[in-house]
Amino acid sequence: MNNQTAPLNNWIDEYHNGVRYGLEGEILIDERSRFQQITIIESTRYGRGLLLDGCWMTAEHQEKHYHESLVHPALCGAEQIQTILIIGGGDGGTARECLKHNEIEHIDMVEVDSRVIELSQKYLPSLGQKAWQDPRLNVHINDGIKWASNSKDSTYDVIIVDGSDPKGPSEGLFNKTFFHDCKRILKPGGVFATQSESPESFFKVHIEIIKTIRKIFGYADPLYGSVPLYPSGWWSWTFAATDSHRYLLPKKSRAESITKECAIWSPKWQKGAFNAIPAFVERELSN
């Protein structure tokens, strides 16, 4: 479509450094919680969508890229997966993906903003689906950084950090003290996972996250994929362990049990996504 004939419809845009990404739609909710501006829209393309502080978080028909990429490399690689900690993840998508794994017995989900959960349950029920009623899911409205700091050593098999960009309520989820606590409360053979920003739109932060986590845990690698809603559409997740690159190798029985339910993830895709590290990032990491 030519620029001169741009439709006159309503557009909801995220602005980032001279680039904007917008969905056509209507704003349903736009409110200020204790922590952030929460906006829920109805889009023509991806169904209902969620923005926090004007940044795209998720949308009903555009969320599997993010959630499958964050969850399955961790859950397929850890030695045990009985006990899981999710920090953030208030839309419910991460919990839903975790619960595809039958071995899970207990999830602590620590979300700082109760309104994100309440509004997601009401307006984006396809994100959390039955996870909200699952007795294995224990939701705590609490500060994830404090939760990690207060947890006992070797508590969790897998820790998944599902937060927004390193500013506002999520800022502390990207610093050393928090990562050290995560390492401490992880069981032997456990895996730590976090979203780690775009190598294109947040290059310095991306490199810093990987280097810091690698130093603290011993083993850490980024995985690259696509999240069309996020700045540049090119996103990353970083996985870490203390004993080996165990997150690179999905356990066969777990992989087989979830493959049919995944839209993006497969063992082959995961192998590719870990290798698809761009040359400019690889050079920077080897410095």
- CA 184 to CA 152: how far, in whole Å? 8
- Contact residue for a copy of itself among 33, 37, 114, 242 (CB under 8 A): 37
Q: Is 179 helix (H, G, I), strand (E, B) or coil?
A: helix
Show the binding pattern over residues 94-113: x = contacts a copy of itself (CB under 8 A), - = does not. Answer: --------------------
Instruction: Look at the chain and count its residues.
Output: 287
Tokens of 115: 């309104």
CB 184 to a copy of itself: min, Å: 32
Which residues on neighbouring strands pair with residue 238, listed in sequence order? 194, 222
User: Angle at Cα 40 formed by Cα 163 and Cα 106, nearest 5°?
Assistant: 40
| C-beta closer to a copy of itself: residue 1 or 133 | 1
Is residue 15 a contact residue for a copy of itself (CB under 8 A)?
yes
Is residue 45 a contact residue for a copy of itself (CB under 8 A)?
yes
The residue count for binding a copy of itself (CB under 8 A) is 59
Q: Are 63 and 93 in contact (CB under 8 A)?
A: yes
- Contact residue for a copy of itself among 171, 264, 284, 285 (CB under 8 A): 264
Phi, psi for 67 (deg, rounded to 5): -70, -40
Tokens of 230: 């996020």
CA-CA-CA-CA torsion sign (88, 90, 95, 97): negative
165 is catalytic: no
- Contact residue for a copy of itself among 26, 150, 243, 263 (CB under 8 A): 263
Q: Are 100 and 136 in contact (CB under 8 A)?
A: no
Instruction: Tell me the residue type at 112.
Output: V
- Contact residue for a copy of itself among 228, 251, 257, 284 (CB under 8 A): 228
Catalytic residue, candidates 91, 113, 157, 162: 162
16-35 residues in contact with a copy of itself (CB under 8 A) are 16-25
| C-beta closer to a copy of itself: residue 173 or 273 | 273
> Could you give the residue numbers annotated as active site?
162
Which residues of this protein are in contact with a copy of itself, per CB under 8 A?
1-7, 11-25, 37, 39, 43-46, 51, 53-54, 200-201, 224-226, 228, 232-234, 259, 262-266, 268-269, 271-280, 282
